[in-house]
Chains A and B, each alone.
Chain A
Amino acid sequence: MRHLFRPTGAAAMMLLLAAISGGCPPVDEYPGDSNHPRAPHNLFPEYTSENGQIATGVTPTEALEQPIAFPHDRHVQVLGMECEFCHSEARKSIHAGVPPTQTCWNCHQHVKKRLDQDAPSPEIARIAEFYEKGEPIPWKKVHDLPDYVHFEHKRHVKAGVDCTECHGQIALMGGERQEDGSVEGTMYRETTLQMGWCLGCHETHPSVNENYGENADLRRAELKDCWTCHK
Chain B
Amino acid sequence: MEDKYREANRPATYAAANRDIIRPLLTPTAMWFGAFVLAIAAMLYGGYCWYLQITWGMGVAGIKHPTFWGVYIVTFVFWVGIGHAGTLISAILYLVRSRWRTGVYRASEAMTIFAVMTALLFPALHLGRVWQMYWFFPYPNQRELWMNFKSPLMWDVFAISTYFTISSVFFYVGLVPDMAIVRDHSTGLVKRIYNVLALGWRGTHKQWHSYMAAYGFFAAFAAPLVLSVHSVVSWDFAMANTAGWHSTLFPPYFVAGAIFSGCAMVITLLMPMTILFKWEDYVNTWHFENLAKMCLLTSGILTYSYAMEYFIAWYSQNPYEQYIFWWRTFGEQWWIFATMVFCNCIAPLVWYYRPWRQNWTILFIVSIFVNIGMWFERLNIVASSTSRSFDPSTWDLYWPTAVEWGILIGSAGWFSFWFLLFAKTLPGVAITEIKEMVVPPVKGSLED
Contact = CB atoms under 8 A, between A and B. Distances in A.
Interface in B145-159: 145
A43 interface: yes
Nearest to B55: A40
Label chain B's interface by main secondary structure: helix
A43 B52 CA distance: 11
Interface residues of A, number: 31
A85 interface: no
Contacts of A1: 271, 359-361, 364
A227 interface: no
Interface stretch (A12-20, A74-82, A124-132): A12-20
Interface string B44-55: 010011001011
Contacts of B359: 1
B143 A10 contact: no
Interface string B127-138: 001011000000
Nearest to A22: B45
B273 to A, nearest CB: 9
Contact of B276 (A5, A14, A31): A5
A229 to B, nearest CB: 11
Contact of B60 (A20, A30, A45): A30
Interface string A18-39: 1011001111001100000010
Nearest to A195: B143
B364 to A, nearest CB: 6
B57 A38 contact: yes
Interface in A153-212: 192, 194-197, 199
A17 B143 contact: no
Given A24-B406, A27-B403, A41-B56, A194 B34 contact: no
A27 B54 contact: no
Given A10-B35, A21-B45, A30 B131 contact: no
B405 interface: yes
Contacts of A20: 409
A38 B409 CA distance: 27
B143 A194 contact: yes
A27 B402 contact: yes
Nearest to A42: B55
B144 A196 contact: yes
A40 B38 contact: no
A184 B98 CA distance: 78
Contacts of B403: 27
Interface string A106-139: 0000000000000000000000000000000000
A195 B57 contact: no
B175 interface: no
Given A10-B35, A41-B55, A21 B142 contact: no
Interface in A19-72: 20-21, 24-27, 30-31, 38, 40-41, 43-46
A6 B178 CA distance: 29
A41 B361 contact: no
Contacts of B30: 7
B60 A14 contact: no
B34 A14 contact: yes
Contacts of A5: 272, 275-276
Task: Report which residue of A1, A7, A14, A45 has the largest number of chain B beta carbons within 10 angstroms of its beta carbon.
Answer: A1
B35 A27 contact: no
B54 A41 contact: yes
Interface string B245-288: 00000000000000000000000000110011000000000000
A185 to B, nearest CB: 29
Nearest to B32: A10
B307 interface: no
A30 B144 contact: no
A94 interface: no
Nearest to B361: A1
Contact of A30 (B34, B56, B142, B364): B56
B420 interface: no
Contacts of A197: 142
